[in-house]
Structure 1
Amino acid sequence: MSKVQAVRPLNVPAVSPRVLWTAAAVVAGLLLLAYLVAFDQGAVSQSGMFLHELMHDGRHLLGVPCH
């Protein structure tokens, strides 16, 4: 007869730290982009209303008031 050996579970994390940091960076970048498109009224842009005018059509497309 053959012996049955007990299988030891591996200690493998569910998600690697590299994937978590990458996901956090992507989420942070998307939140920054959403802020710039929807809410920035020239506060970030040091050249006047350049960023506001750049994102103007995107604001109207998303239904965000900007006037």
Structure 2
Amino acid sequence: MAESAITPAPLPSADLAKVPVRTLLPWAAFFGLLMLIVLYFVGAEQGATSLIAGENVHEWLHDGRHLLGFPCH
């Protein structure tokens, strides 16, 4: 009863985990730019720096603004 009928599968080799930096760099740049755009809209899209007229964007992001510690009123 001490022996198991299931044999463990071999671990994948370390060669599978290597990803070239050239492959990751465009994706890292894309997501970095995307995060900067999100940060702008959450943190600064109101008042004098507003790109979009009106209060709609401010109201849609209002709770996220407070959650991240941005003052807005």
Structure 1 residue 44: Cα displacement: 2.2
Aligned pair count reads 52
- Which of residues 27, 33, 36 in structure 2 aligns to 1:31? 36
Q: Which residue of 2 aligns with 1:45?
A: 52
Distance 1:45 1:54 in 2: 13
Q: Which residue of 2 aligns with 1:3?
A: none
Unpaired runs of at least 5, structure 2: 1-19
TM-score, normalised to structure 2, is 0.62
Q: Which residue of 2 aligns with 1:55?
A: 61
Unpaired runs of at least 5, structure 1: 1-13
SS at match of 1:45: coil
SS at match of 1:34: helix
Higher helix share: 2
Deviations 1:12-49 (A, max 9, x none): xx512x42111101000001101110111061224x11
Task: Point out 4+ residue stretches in structure 1 off by more than 3 angstroms.
Answer: none
TM-score, normalised to structure 1, is 0.67
Q: RMSD of the alignment, in Å?
A: 1.5
